[in-house]
A and B are shown apart, each in its own frame.
Chain A
Amino acid sequence: MSERPTAPPLLDVRDLTTRFITPEGVFHAVEGLSFQLERGESLGLVGESGCGKSTAMLSLLRLLPAAGRIVGGQALLDGTDLFGLDESDMRAVRWHRISMIFQGAMNAFNPVRTVGAQIAEALVFHGLAQDRGEAQPRVDELLEMVGITGARGSQYPHQYSGGMRQRAMIAMALACSPQVVIADEPTTALDVMIQAQILELLERLQRELGLAVILVTHDLSVVAEVCHRVLVMYGGVLAESCEVDGIFNQPLHPYTRRLLAAFPDLSRPEGKLVSIPGYPPRLNALPPGCRFAPRCEEVHERCLQERPKPRQVLPGHWVACHLHEAGAANDRT
Chain B
Amino acid sequence: MTGPDGSALPTRGPGVLLTVEGLCKRFPLPRGFIGTLTNRPTEAVHAIDGISFELQRGEIMALVGESGCGKTTTALTLMGLLEADEGTIRFNGEDVTHLGRSVEAPRATIAALERQSFRREPSFQPTLTMKDLRRQVQMVFQDPYESLNPRATVFETVAEPLEVHGLAGTRDQLLERVRRALEDAGLHPAEDYLWRRPHELSGGQRQRVVIAGALVLEPILLIADEPVSMLDVSIRAEILNLLDDLRTRRGISVLCITHDLGTAAYFTDRIAVMYLGRIVESGPTQAVLAHPLHPYTRALLSVIPVPNPRLRRKRMILTGETPNPVHLPRGCRFHPRCPIATARCAEADPAWREVTPAHSAACHEAVAPG
A interface, CB within 8 angstroms of B: 48-49, 161-163, 191-197, 199-200, 218-222, 224-225, 244-245, 248-249, 258-260, 262-267, 269, 272-276, 279
A197 to B237 alpha-carbon distance, docked (Å): 26
> Do B233 and A225 have beta carbons less than 8 Å apart?
no
Majority SS at the chain B contact face: helix
A328 to B289 alpha-carbon distance, docked (Å): 44
CB-defined contacts of B39 to chain A, threshold 8 Å: none
A264 to B232 alpha-carbon distance, docked (Å): 13
Question: What 0/1 readout, one digit per residue, does chain B (285-327) give for beta carbons within 8 Å of chain A?
Answer: 1100100000000011101111111011001011101000000
User: Which residues, 105 to 119 on B, are CB-close (under 8 Å) to A?
Assistant: none
A263 to B307 alpha-carbon distance, docked (Å): 8
- What are 10 A-B residue pairs whose CB atoms fall within 8 Å in the complex? A191-B67, A192-B259, A196-B303, A199-B305, A200-B315, A224-B308, A249-B309, A267-B308, A269-B265, A269-B266
Shortest Cβ-Cβ A-B pairs, 6 listed: A273-B237, A221-B305, A196-B303, A275-B237, A275-B238, A264-B262
Among the listed B202, B286, B305, which residue makes an inter-chain contact with A219, where contact means beta carbons less than 8 Å apart? B305
Among the listed B203, B267, B299, which residue makes an inter-chain contact with A193, where contact means beta carbons less than 8 Å apart? B299
Closest to B309 in A: A245
Among the listed B203, B237, B300, B301, which residue makes an inter-chain contact with A262, where contact means beta carbons less than 8 Å apart? B237
| B235 in the interface (beta carbon within 8 A) | yes
| B263 in the interface (beta carbon within 8 A) | yes
A293 to B317 alpha-carbon distance, docked (Å): 41
> Do A48 and B309 have beta carbons less than 8 Å apart?
no
> Do B234 and A48 have beta carbons less than 8 Å apart?
yes
| B54 in the interface (beta carbon within 8 A) | no
| B134 in the interface (beta carbon within 8 A) | no
> Do B307 and A248 have beta carbons less than 8 Å apart?
yes
Query: Nearest Cβ in chain A — how far from B125, in angstroms?
Result: 26
| B212 in the interface (beta carbon within 8 A) | no
A48-B232, A200-B317 in contact; A274/B237 too (CB < 8 A)? Answer: yes
> Do A225 and B67 have beta carbons less than 8 Å apart?
no
B interface, CB within 8 angstroms of A: 66-67, 202-203, 232-238, 240-241, 259-263, 265-267, 285-286, 289, 299-301, 303-309, 311-312, 315, 317-319, 321
> Do A267 and B234 have beta carbons less than 8 Å apart?
no
CB-defined contacts of A193 to chain B, threshold 8 Å: 66, 299-300, 303, 317-318, 321
Closest to A255 in B: B234
> Do B234 and A275 have beta carbons less than 8 Å apart?
yes
> Do A263 and B286 have beta carbons less than 8 Å apart?
no
Query: Nearest Cβ in chain B — how far from A144, in angstroms?
Result: 16
Query: Nearest Cβ in chain B — how far from A148, in angstroms?
Result: 12
> Do B289 and A266 have beta carbons less than 8 Å apart?
yes
CB-defined contacts of A161 to chain B, threshold 8 Å: 321
Closest to A249 in B: B309
CB-defined contacts of B318 to chain A, threshold 8 Å: 193
Among the listed B286, B308, B319, which residue makes an inter-chain contact with A269, where contact means beta carbons less than 8 Å apart? B286
> Do B235 and A275 have beta carbons less than 8 Å apart?
yes
A218-B232, A273-B236 in contact; A248/B308 too (CB < 8 A)? Answer: yes
A192-B260, A273-B236, A275-B241 in contact; A266/B304 too (CB < 8 A)? Answer: yes
> Do B237 and A220 have beta carbons less than 8 Å apart?
no
> Do A265 and B306 have beta carbons less than 8 Å apart?
yes
CB-defined contacts of A192 to chain B, threshold 8 Å: 66, 259-261, 300, 303-304
Among the listed B241, B286, B299, which residue makes an inter-chain contact with A273, where contact means beta carbons less than 8 Å apart? B241
CB-defined contacts of B305 to chain A, threshold 8 Å: 199, 219, 221-222, 224-225
Query: Nearest Cβ in chain B — how far from A203, in angstroms?
Result: 10
CB-defined contacts of A199 to chain B, threshold 8 Å: 305
